[in-house]
Structure 1
Amino acid sequence: MRIRQLAALAALLMLSACGFQLRGAAPVSAALQPLAVECTTRIPETLCQAVREQLRLGGIESSPPEAAAYRLKLSQFKETRRASAVTLQGAAAEYDIRQSVGIQVITREQIPLVALTDVHSSESYRYDESSVLAKQREERAIRETLHQRLAQQIIFRLAPLSAERIQAILERSTAAEPEASPGP
């Protein structure tokens, strides 16, 4: 019994030393606080909730836009569903669902920390005409899974935004402003 406890302790120490984190708990910098999550009307609510939940798991609390120093904007949500395989009778045997969403992180002063970029996710599933209701439920579950994946990808895009990196972006932005203004 003592050997098992020592082995478990050794495994725990190794995992903590290598930077292991539970899935979904992305290392989002506290420098992004306070952060507002803004979703346009076309963004599914389950996707917005998944992003907020992933942020919460990463230790970042969402704030209202007027109180936030930074804003994470989600826009341009797209979803396509297409047949990716057909039966001998010409009916769809497999479908592919693809989702994408545009993300952007800006400061209160409208300085972009993450320029508008798209993140994508897709999943395929088999379709059986004899169990249409079950396949509709499966398709809804797949959509929610894709929302979770998109949320995780968004969080991983935020991970590099440390306090130092944010400061460097802000300094470059203020240094570029005088050059942009016309001379006398």
Structure 2
Amino acid sequence: MLRIRGMLVVGLALLVAACGWQLRGAGGGGFEGVPVAIEGTFDNRFRARLAERLRDLDAVVVTDPTDAQVVIDVMSVSSRRRTVTTDADGFASEYELRYRIRFGLEAGGQAGPEQATIARQSVRTSASFAAESSNLQGRDAEEESLRRDLQEDALQLLLSRIGRRL
């Protein structure tokens, strides 16, 4: 009985896989084979990371907007730190990091007549971390690691919003 049940589960899994069904979110979000250009004045490391993430989603990253179906226009990328709490001596004991990307999606030179666009908008991520005034190097390392995580989260939100429009 157990063997029949196991064979039935394997058979159903093969049937579902053969028909092309996949879990929601398992696909690239509409980027497969889409020529995408990245515009804006911002850090080259950010541009490289965005291009890498697009390639991971099977998009074709092009440099010239006339060769693109869509153009991601990044207006600004900003990161801020603010003090959330202080200790009895007045030193910061907890910080909050905020990361924001302002962007829009425009039709490129290869776009069809019904190409979706996105008006200028922002994605924001934030997180807090404890800071010891006696361990400045540890605090800086924690802040940099958290900043990278926030950038990844913001990029994921940006690509998710754009992917839903493609």
TM range (shorter): 0.7 to 0.9
Post-superposition Cα deviations, 1:73-116, rounded to whole Å, max 9, x if no partner, equal 11122222100111122110010011111111111369871111
Residue in structure 1 matched with residue 124 of structure 2 by the alignment = 120
Higher relative contact order (CA 8 A, sep 6+): 1
Please tell me whether the aligned partners of residues 47 and 148 of structure 1 are also in contact (alpha carbons under 8 angstroms): no
Give the distance between the partners of 1:10 and 1:136, measured in 2 at CA: 53
Aligned counterparts of 2:161 and 2:38: Cα–Cα separation in 1: 14
TM-score norm. by structure 1 comes to: 0.70
Aligned in 2, Cα 1:132/1:108: closer, same or farther, shift over 3 Å?
same
Alignment partner, residue 55 of structure 1: 54
**Residues 26 and 156 in structure 1, CA contact (< 8 A), matched pair in contact too:** no
The residue type paired with residue 76 of structure 1 is S
Aligned to 1:169: none
Residues 9 and 157 (structure 1), Cα distance of their counterparts in 2 relative to 1, 3 Å cut:
same
* 8 Å Cα contact 1:104-1:112 kept in structure 2: no
CA distance in 2, matches of 1:75, 1:105: 11
Q: Distance in 2 between matches of 1:123 and 1:47?
A: 20
Backbone CA RMSD of aligned residues: 3.3
Would you say the 8 A contact 2:100–2:124 is kept in 1? yes
Q: Hey, what's the Cα distance between the residues in 2 that align with 1:53 and 1:147?
A: 13
What CA distance in whole angstroms lies between the structure 2 residues aligned with 1:141 and 1:6? 46
Q: What SS does the corresponding residue of 1:160 show, helix, strand or coil?
A: helix
| Partner in structure 1 of residue 43 of structure 2 | 44
